[in-house]
Chain A
Amino acid sequence: MTGRAQPLIVGAGPAGIRAAQALVAVGLRPLVVDEAPACGGQIYRQRPVPDGRSAKSLYGSEAGKAQALHGAFHALAGHIDYWPQALLWNLRDGDADIAVAGENRRVAYDGLILATGATDRILPVPGWTLPGVFTLGGSQVALKAQGCAIGSRVVFAGTGPLLYLVAWQYMKAGVEVAAVLDAAPFSAKFAMLRGLPLFPAIVLRGMRFVAELKLRGVALHSGVGGVRIEGTREVSGVAWRSGGREHRIACDGVGYGLTLRSETQASDLAGCTFRFDERDRAWLPQRDAAGRSSVAGVYLAGDGAGIAGADAAERAGERAALALCEDRGLPVSPERAARLERELARIDRFRDVLEAAFPFPAHWAGGIADDTLLCRCEEISAGEAREAMGRYGIVELNRLKAVSRVGMGRCQGRICGGAAAELLAAETGQGIGSVGRLRSQAPLKPVPLVLQPAVRDRETAA
């Protein structure tokens, strides 16, 4: 380490784990900070305690990958510093502020790998804030990490690979799945055939989920629109439109999500240049094929810099770590680096297939009813947002936030920011790439007002 500060890795999911492993392999000792109590990220999240379920039952066909990642991270013990349940809330000039157990630790890092992951992408529908409505990811966390179902009779709605996966997992766990409602038209699924030569196993697995759901009598509807979640204090059912007809089904739980969105706030604070990504319909931090951002010493890996999935995250995490090593003049296998980049490019081509099969229903945005909440933190309705756009002549997202409070609450626009951008684009007739992006500010998530500076300020660990 020759007196240099530690590399800092933010996130201990697939990308963060592989990055840490690659840094340790060349003799570096990174600090890994992660909000979760145990490694794995959201996709390979671990249960807090054993509960009798096997890895196979928890992670399905991905059990081997999950176990390999958990094992790899455990093997790094003693070679890395690891702060679980630690929140990175500020980045500035090579310093990170990290809240751990009510105190603030200031870390001077030398090399930063951001592996911040993703959460569900949402467009508001009537009733989406009712108790019993969770994101698809949240529905999966309840089942996987807590061994709980979000209802006794559950509807899954939205689109994306996660829609069918979570429905299938609930069905396998013995929960009644009342229906699966896919915003994508049935014909879109033929795009998956184009994915067969790329990743046949993934395509076939998806087809198996659908077949098994059908076999068990789960109603599968494609091309749905007008989704409304019904109930007053709790979920009582879901109504929707498909095939030219109105439908309604009773349920007490709803899993909802429209594919994923990247967690980019930390890369914004790190000063990274952003570009608009047409496929993700989102502003993403620029990165080269190796994961270098526009800022020297800041590297980006995994879904936090663009949605590509867990397999890509593992490779991108390792590749970003190799880039950090290259930039420090440490020995790196060029063959390994090139191979990782080839595999990432292949996965990227498959992402185009998935996007065609599960297109984001952007056309829903213009139709969000005025009385539907747009921002669930501040409880600002779509109508109030539209009124603010008209009154103040708003054409830009940060200005919409300033005058309407949309995106100003506890979640800082994580949940509603994308939807607000879609609504603003629809209302003003601009392209989604023209309405701007919410500027991130510290704290990246809520921090206690009483946050004492740590007595022990970190020294270089090596």
Chain B
Amino acid sequence: MPLLHRIVRKDHAAIAFTLDGRACEGRAGDTLLTAILSHAGAVRLSEFSGQPRAGFCQMGACQDCWVTLAGGERLRACTTPLAAGMSVVTGSGIAS
């Protein structure tokens, strides 16, 4: 279930990325957090409890939305613009 609901920019240029291997589309102007949460209900699982997390402050303070790309890069999703071809790996199936 997507967590975020788009109100505007619905027809902006599509940007392709993948979420746990699934082909997804964000929109021009999306942060990585917006792009993921437009398709999924969380961005990661807690390292300690395995509970899902989806960010909290959306302004780079709480550090709750760090995600991993297929190449191992670590990104704070709320402050990272979505770029074409990003391959986000949660390893948890939270995108389904």
Interface residues, chain A, with chain B CB atoms under 8 Å away: 35-37, 42, 47-49, 51-53, 85, 119-120, 129-135, 137-139, 141-143, 146-152, 173-175, 233-234, 253, 263, 376-379, 409-411, 414-415, 445-446, 448
B4, B51, B62, B66: which contacts A142 (Cβ < 8 A)?
B4
Given contacts A147-B7, A149-B7, A409 and B63 within 8 Å (CB-CB):
yes
Asked whether any CB of chain A lies closer than 8 Å to the CB of B59, the reply is yes
Inter-subunit contact A377/B63 (CB<8 Å): yes
- On whether the beta carbons of B4 and A150 are closer than 8 Å, the reply is yes
Q: In the bound complex, do residue A152 and residue B48 qualify as a contact, i.e. CB atoms below 8 Å apart?
A: no
Residue from A129, A147, A233 having most chain B Cβ neighbours under 10 A: A147
* B49-A174 in contact (CB<8A): no
| Least CB separation from A446: chain B residue | B63
Given A49-B28, A149-B4, A234-B1: A134 and B56 interface contact (C-beta under 8 Å): yes
* Interface residue ranges of B1-30 to A (CB < 8 Å): 1, 3-9, 12, 28-30
Residues of chain A with a CB closer than 8 A to B58's CB: 134-135, 137-139, 141-142
Knowing A376-B62, A445-B63 touch, does A233 contact B41 (C-beta < 8 A)?
yes
18 contacts between A and B (CB under 8 A): A48-B81, A51-B29, A52-B9, A120-B57, A131-B3, A131-B54, A137-B59, A138-B56, A146-B34, A147-B7, A148-B7, A233-B42, A233-B51, A376-B64, A379-B48, A409-B63, A415-B56, A448-B74
Whether A141 pairs with B62 at a CB distance below 8 angstroms is no
Of the candidates B6, B41, B74, B78, which one forms a contact with A147 in the assembled complex, judged by CB atoms under 8 Å apart? B6
Task: Report which of A35, A120, A134, A142 forms a contact with B60, defined as CB distance below 8 A.
Answer: A35
Partner of A137, one of B9, B57, B74: B57
Chain B residue nearest to A253 (CB atoms) is: B3
Known A48-B29, A146-B30, A376-B64: A151·B59 in contact at CB below 8 Å: no
Residue of A nearest to B54 (CB): A131
Are A411 and B9 neighbours in the complex by a CB distance under 8 Å?
no
- Quick check: is B91 within 8 A (CB to CB) of the other chain? no
Q: Is there contact, CB below 8 Å, between A49 and B12?
A: yes
- In the complex, besides A150-B4, A234-B41, 15 extra interface pairs with C-beta distance below 8 angstroms are A36-B79, A48-B29, A51-B8, A53-B8, A119-B57, A131-B3, A134-B57, A134-B58, A135-B56, A142-B34, A146-B34, A147-B9, A148-B34, A233-B51, A234-B3
Question: A146 contacts B31, CB within 8 Å?
Answer: yes
Nearest chain B CB to A249 CB, angstrom units: 19
Contacts of B38 in A (CB 8 A): 148
Chain A residues within 8 Å of B54, by CB = 131-132
Asked if A445 and B60 sit within 8 Å, CB to CB, the answer is yes
Instruction: Fill in one digit per residue for B63-79: 1 if any A CB lies within 8 Å of its CB, else 0.
Output: 11010000000101011
The verdict on A415 contacting B5 (CB below 8 Å), with A48-B81, A138-B57 known, is: no
- In the assembled complex, the Cα of A36 lies from the Cα of B59 at a distance in Å of 9
Residues of B that sit less than 8 Å from A by CB:
1, 3-9, 12, 28-31, 34, 37-38, 41-42, 46, 48-49, 51-64, 66, 74, 76, 78-79, 81
Query: In terms of DSSP, what is the predominant structure of the interface of chain B?
Result: loop
Kindly provide the distance from the CB of B62 to the nearest chain A CB, expressed in whole angstroms.
5
Given contacts A47-B29, A49-B28, A446-B63, contact A148 B6 (CB under 8 A): yes
Residue of B nearest to A142 (CB): B58
Chain A residues, CB < 8 A from B74: 448
Which B residue's beta carbon lies closest to that of A449? B74
Q: How far apart are the CA atoms of A378 and B55 in the complex, in Å?
A: 15
Which A residues are in CB contact (< 8 Å) with B1? Answer: 234
Which residue in chain A gives the minimum CB-CB distance to B81?
A48
- Across the interface, do B41 and A131 meet the contact criterion of CB distance under 8 Å? yes
B contact residues around A133 at 8 Å (CB): 56
Shortest CB-to-CB span from B74 to chain A, Å, is: 8
Which residues of A have CB within 8 Å of B34? 142, 146, 148
Interchain CA distance A37-B60 in the complex, whole Å: 12
Min Cβ gap A254→B in Å is 11
> Is there an interface contact between B7 and A143, defined as CB atoms closer than 8 Å?
yes
**Chain A residue with minimal CB distance to B33?**
A146
- Bound: A165/B64 CA distance, A: 25
On chain B, the residues within 8 Å of A53 by CB distance are 8
Q: Which 9 A-B pairs have the closest CB atoms?
A: A131-B54, A410-B63, A147-B8, A138-B58, A49-B29, A148-B4, A141-B58, A51-B8, A48-B29
* B12 close to A51 (CB less than 8 A): yes
With known contacts A47-B29, A129-B53, A146-B30, A414–B7 Cβ distance under 8 A: no
Q: Contact between A149 and B49 (Cβ–Cβ < 8 Å)? A: no
